[in-house]
Amino acid sequence: MKKLSIIIMSISLGCSAQEKSIGELVAEDPSFYEFIDKEAKIEVLAEGFTWSEGPVWVKEGGFLLFSDVPQNTIFKWRADEGLTEFLKPSGYTGILPYSREPGSNGLTINSDGELVVCEHGDRRVTRMPLGGGGGKFTLADSWMDKRLNSPNDVIQASNGTYYFTDPPYGLPGLDKSEMREIDAFGVYKIDKDRKVEMVVGNLTFPNGVALSPDEKILYVTQSDPNAAYILAYNVKNDGSLDEGKILFDATPMAKSGLKGLPDGIKVDRNGTIFSTGPGGILIISPNGKLLGRIDTGEPTANCAWGEDGSVLYITANHYLAKINTKTIGNGF
């Protein structure tokens, strides 16, 4: 317990300096500034993490939760409290060492106000009441009687259906792991009756997921440096997907030396895409045009809308940061 306290203290003290900012704004089209003010800063809220990931804003309470995957920890950040440890272990309850990324990754809040967690080490998607008094409940840990790889990111549609990705990043040995039971790295859906179905099975490293505001399109990112795609799938009436298409190919950007790959992805209420990728957060129109980048200068894992919906929280390597935008996130 003493060691954990020291870790939290070092992170908290490391981020206490006021007015620290990182990175820069890079416009590829004049319309970029319709979303981000030219003078907006990427403000550092906390630093010292191993690999920060999966942020989600909790409206009931007004705070942010996010993962540090290697530390097997979910942290909580609130403006009037700063940084505290929220949950540890967050994604692996077995015997260590396990893998380089054993903890939780993607987080979301479901329609019942529960925290939904992608757990790398325990290889499952769970839900947990935030009010306490219930522990965790498994939503999915297998498909066709085979254990999942390491669920990475999750989103819930308004009808209750969940979609999640299952790459190998939490497995010992990654895609070469001897623990793999499923050949594909899939995208899955969970129906309201908890039936798990693979809806995409031909990707190499599926990662982030997001729905368009009308829920007719599911966006999936692929963090493969040789096929760094943001893909768009039409959602059918039964919740299954069509064959999809490449909405944006970030492979040339990845090969140019810009840090990062397509990872976490969010959408504003008008359907504009905010996806992490090479060079920070890429702002992309619904038809796939790159408008510009919020370049943190770091490999950037994920982002989430918070506060009144206009604040974009960012997990970028060792940092938790935020930037004020001129738009409103979907769901606010």
Give CA–CA dist 192/328, Å, rounded.
Answer: 29
Q: Which residues of 179-215 are buried (b: 16+ CB within 10 A; e: fewer)?
A: ebebebbbbbbbeeeeebeebbeebebbbbbbbbeee
Host H or E run for residue 12? helix 2-14
Decide: 171 and 121 in contact? Cβ < 8 Å.
Answer: no
Task: Tell me whether the omega of the peptide bond preceding residue 89 falls within 30 degrees of 0, making it cis.
Answer: yes
DSSP secondary structure string for all residues of 194-261: --EEEEEEEESSEEEEEE-TTSSEEEEEE-BTTB-EEEEEEBPTTS-B---EEEEE-HHHHHTT-S--
- Residue 191 marked as a ligand binder: no
The verdict on whether residue 122 carries a ligand-binding annotation is no
Residue 175 annotated in ligand binding = yes
- Residue 5 burial (10 A CB sphere; 0-12, 13-18, 19+): exposed
In 26-167, alpha helices (H): none
DSSP letter at 110 equals: -
Paired tokens of 145: 């009687």
Instruction: Judge whether 238 counts as a catalytic residue.
Output: no
> Which of these is catalytic: 166, 224, 263, 295?
263
User: Does the annotation flag 268 for ligand binding?
Assistant: no
Half-sphere exposure of 34 (CA within 13 A, CB side): 11
The response to whether 53 counts as a known ligand-binding position is: yes
Known binding site: residues?
A: 53, 152, 175, 207, 263
Known binding site for substrate: residues?
A: 152, 175
Q: Looking at the annotation, which residues are catalytic? A: 263
Known binding site for a divalent metal cation: residues?
A: 53, 207, 263
